[in-house]
Structure 1
Amino acid sequence: MAILSTPFRLFFTAAAAATSLLPSAFALQTLDLSQDFPVGNTDNPDAAAIEAMIDPSIYRLLVIDDGTIVMEYQADSVRDDDEAFHIHSATKPWSRLLIGMIIESPKYNLSMDDKLGDIFLEESAWELVTDETEREIKENITIYEMMTMTDGLMENWEAHPYFGENLAEWLEYYVINGTEKDSLVDIGNIFGVDIDTSDYRETSFIYLILENILSYVVREVTGMTPLDFASKEVFPFLGIDPEKPGFLWRPDWNGTQLFGSGMYLTARQMAKLPQLYLQKGYAAPDQSLVSDDFINASLSPISYSNFGQSSVGMLWWLLGDKDNDPDFPAMVVDPSLPGKIWCGSGMGGQQACLNHETGRVVVVQRNETIPSSQFSLTGAKESDILVIAAMSTDRSFTMSVVDASKSKENGGSDAEEEKEESEPMVGADDPMKEESGAAILGSMAAAVAVGGAALVAAIL
């Protein structure tokens, strides 16, 4: 494993202290993620209650409890089980994984405090950066600053002809045409972007939707595109076949996959990444992809100079953090919410979330062309409500519908006997508590709060 740079070591130390190494309430089993998830009892009242909350905008909803599928919903409009959907900015945590693996690998020479000017030595990489001050700033941007979005680069969305009309068309235009006129490092200056030159630039959060510089870092350091690297070092261990119909990671005009968007996956494929994080970087009992330090650093809220303590880790987002800063209000004030829910989030409500306290993974795939009834910290209220409901400690996903019905008919006198006769999933030992989907939907919808204006960009 490569020696970590000083800022990264300090960040890891702070992250471990702040999260207590992300303790879990469960002795989570370590699955072989190259295999399909085992399917448990999906015919349970908790799954039925949550399914009753699903609106027509949802393509898929997947709940995995201690490595076992306990709920799986797929809309009739989905063609087949292998149909993959664009996960938009939920691509970012996947790209973040590649950077972490490269830093930790002894085969490559990369650290968090490496500067772009030290990585891109060819003059051709800088030929369109004609302003001397701009070039000096960009050459001194570090990998750490890019991973925490404190690099000072800004996107001028309003300058683009599609902005404010159709976000899907806007992204399509960017992917096909937008980068062709930019040099390798100048991609961060898309659409007439400005640079933050203020004194607090290095600790100020500025969200970039589509910057692609880190993809070129992967290519420069490893000699492989992000897709080639992932196909060799990541996907085989997570059971993802990039040659299979449906999978796609869209490249720019130069054949380099986008760092922050462009990946098309199924819900089960999306779930492999948060499950890897729950397993502390182990893709199998004897196969570690990244260190526990990497996981802790990724899932630790960062403090920024422009709004203090945040709901942002390294390209992961907190959902429903009750102890959060007032600028980032809790999505739901719910006593059953199990601590920190971390999500890889994409435009329109694409969610891949994990929670260490419950040992649970929840994935939502949503039709981004259907406007959300309320924008929220992570993109769409409809998705947030489902994630929070599925993560609640009031749910165990253990009893079958038949067993629950029998228990109710017996007036609860034989509840313990019925519970023993049912076959609970591994690690799920909380009692099942019945609650109607309609009641949950009403109470949660009323409690959902809109994220601060500074994070409206996070919906993308």
Structure 2
Amino acid sequence: MLAPRRASVRIIETFATAVFLLAGAAACTAAPSPAPVPSPEVAIANHLHAVLDAVTGSEEVRAVLVHQDAEPVYEEYMSSTPDDTWNVYSVTKSVTSTLVGIAIDRGLISGVDATLGDLLPEYAAVLTAETSDIPLQAVLTHTANFAPDGDVRDLEGSADWIATILQDRADRGPGDGSFVYSTYGSHVLAAVVAEATGMSPFAFAREVLFAPLGIEVDEPWEERLLPGTDPDAYNRAYENAEVAWIADPQALNMGGAWLRLRPGDLARFAQLFLDEGERMGDEIVSSTWVALATSPMVATPVLGALSYGFQWWVDEERDEFAGVGFGGTVVLVDRRKDAMVVIACDVARDAPPTELGLTADSALALAQALIDDLPDSDG
């Protein structure tokens, strides 16, 4: 009984060996070569256009820039040139925050614990005991209970926007300290910068931020939006300007929106934060401020429940932070890959509902996908 079993084993072993040898021979002669891995530039281009072909609002995208290790990897301009400027909408908030940081670095503001009563003495008459005690940090993190962006108000009919915003905040009360996204609160930051520096935010930015970054501002435009201004004429002048920043009746540039910059200017700004506040060895804003501003300070229910820092959205899990503007404008900075993505869009101040660009969620998701197409940093 044992011999037949050994014979069966030998037959099976012989058959298995033959199959193995035949398979090996076939693999040597017939196996296709692995498909070549596309370069990051090709992968980004393919991914970008697949997304833009599929999402609503892509017609308003004007530029996409992807840089890594301080070098361009991919740049594309759609119906535009590198010299064209665009309204960066709420990415303006991140610029205003940086101006606050520079003012603190220079000793012009004592710190983020300073209160509105200390920072805005000109508005003592409209500040209450409660609103006087609002710390700067609460304004920077949208936890001071200023009016949410969804609230309708006729600021453009007011002779003093800051007074109107502060009075509205006094009427609302302190809230519960939770996150309430407020462009009105960001405009208060512009007033803080102006009071501390004795300059308009735009003038201060040109001196301490734009010029050191190599952002050219040959003919700055910062016309005041006064009550009774013809909106059509004003919008045309703004959109025909080069680098521009809308100002309120007190000549305070809008702290939360309406700054016009080139896509490359946004890339320089993002690189400043990747380089911890330095450019070519010179400190523009302290590394301390860069770290604080881009740290997760408060939880939010927005953009996939991202955290929020000092006017920056923060994705702690991906080690990323972003400025995100209406219509799809995004500045995304990724520390892991030493990379950034800039998406610039053309959405007019008076755009019809059919021309509002990408949603914030779509634009940020696209920027993150393009980061994922990059290899690890060489740095």
Superposition TM-score tier, normalisation by shorter sequence: 0.7 to 0.9
User: Which residue among 238, 243, 248 is the counterpart of 2:213?
Assistant: 238
Question: Which residue of 2 is the match for residue 356 of structure 1?
Answer: 335
Whether contact under 8 Å (1:364, 1:387) holds in the other structure is yes
Superposition misfits of 4+ residues, deviation over 6 angstroms: none
Is structure 2 residue 195 aligned with structure 1 residue 213?
A: no
Whether contact under 8 Å (2:149, 2:184) holds in the other structure is no
Is structure 2 residue 247 aligned with structure 1 residue 251?
A: yes
Task: Provide the C-alpha distance between the structure 2 equivalents of 1:364 and 1:311, rounded to a whole number of angstroms.
Answer: 21
Is structure 2 residue 320 aligned with structure 1 residue 341?
A: yes
Q: Secondary structure at the match of 2:94?
A: helix
> Do the aligned partners of residues 66 and 254 (structure 1) sit closer, same or farther apart at CA in structure 2, a change above 3 Å counting?
same
Task: Provide the C-alpha distance between the structure 1 equivalents of 2:285 and 2:263, rounded to a whole number of angstroms.
Answer: 22
Q: How far did residue 152 of structure 1 move?
A: 2.4
> Do the aligned partners of residues 60 and 153 (structure 1) sit closer, same or farther apart at CA in structure 2, a change above 3 Å counting?
same
Q: Secondary structure at the match of 1:206?
A: coil
User: Which residue among 274, 277, 281 is the counterpart of 1:281?
Assistant: 277
> Do the aligned partners of residues 371 and 255 (structure 1) sit closer, same or farther apart at CA in structure 2, a change above 3 Å counting?
closer
More helix by share: 2
User: Which residue among 72, 84, 89 is the counterpart of 2:75?
Assistant: 72
Query: Deviations for 1:20-60, whole angstroms, at most 9, x for unmatched residues?
Result: xxxxxxxxxxxxxxxxxxxxxx9942243134233433111
Whether contact under 8 Å (2:147, 2:182) holds in the other structure is yes
> Do the aligned partners of residues 60 and 150 (structure 1) sit closer, same or farther apart at CA in structure 2, a change above 3 Å counting?
same
Task: Provide the C-alpha distance between the structure 2 equivalents of 1:235 and 1:372, rounded to a whole number of angstroms.
Answer: 27
Question: Which residue of 2 is the match for residue 224 of structure 1?
Answer: 199
> Do the aligned partners of residues 178 and 273 (structure 1) sit closer, same or farther apart at CA in structure 2, a change above 3 Å counting?
farther
Whether contact under 8 Å (1:150, 1:206) holds in the other structure is yes
User: Which residue among 118, 133, 136 is the counterpart of 1:143?
Assistant: 136
Is structure 2 residue 270 aligned with structure 1 residue 296?
A: no
How big is the alpha-carbon RMSD for the aligned residues of Structure 1 and Structure 2? Answer: 2.9
Query: Deviations for 1:226-260, whole angstroms, at most 9, x for unmatched residues?
Result: 11111111111111122256111111112111111
User: Which residue among 124, 130, 147 is the counterpart of 1:154?
Assistant: 147
When normalised by structure 1's length, the TM-score is 0.60
Q: How far did residue 147 of structure 1 move?
A: 0.9
Whether contact under 8 Å (1:154, 1:194) holds in the other structure is no
1:7-406 aligned within 5 A:
44-53=41-50, 54=52, 55-76=58-79, 78=80, 80-106=81-107, 108-122=108-122, 125-127=123-125, 129=126, 135-155=128-148, 157-160=150-153, 174=155, 177-182=156-161, 184-189=162-167, 194-198=171-175, 201=176, 203-211=177-185, 212-244=187-219, 246-285=242-281, 287-304=282-299, 310-318=306-314, 339-368=318-347, 369=351, 370-371=355-356, 375=359, 379-381=360-362, 383-392=363-372, 394-396=373-375
Which ranges of structure 1 fall in alignment gaps of 5 or more residues?
1-41, 161-172, 324-338, 398-426, 430-460
Whether contact under 8 Å (2:183, 2:255) holds in the other structure is no
Task: Provide the C-alpha distance between the structure 1 equivalents of 2:344 and 2:336, rounded to a whole number of angstroms.
Answer: 23
Letter in 2 for 1:180: A
Which ranges of structure 2 fall in alignment gaps of 5 or more residues?
1-38, 53-57, 220-240
Q: How far did residue 301 of structure 1 move?
A: 1.1
Task: Provide the C-alpha distance between the structure 1 equivalents of 2:78 and 2:300, rounded to a whole number of angstroms.
Answer: 43
Q: How far did residue 298 of structure 1 move?
A: 1.2
Q: Secondary structure at the match of 2:322?
A: strand
Letter in 2 for 1:187: I
> Do the aligned partners of residues 314 and 51 (structure 1) sit closer, same or farther apart at CA in structure 2, a change above 3 Å counting?
same
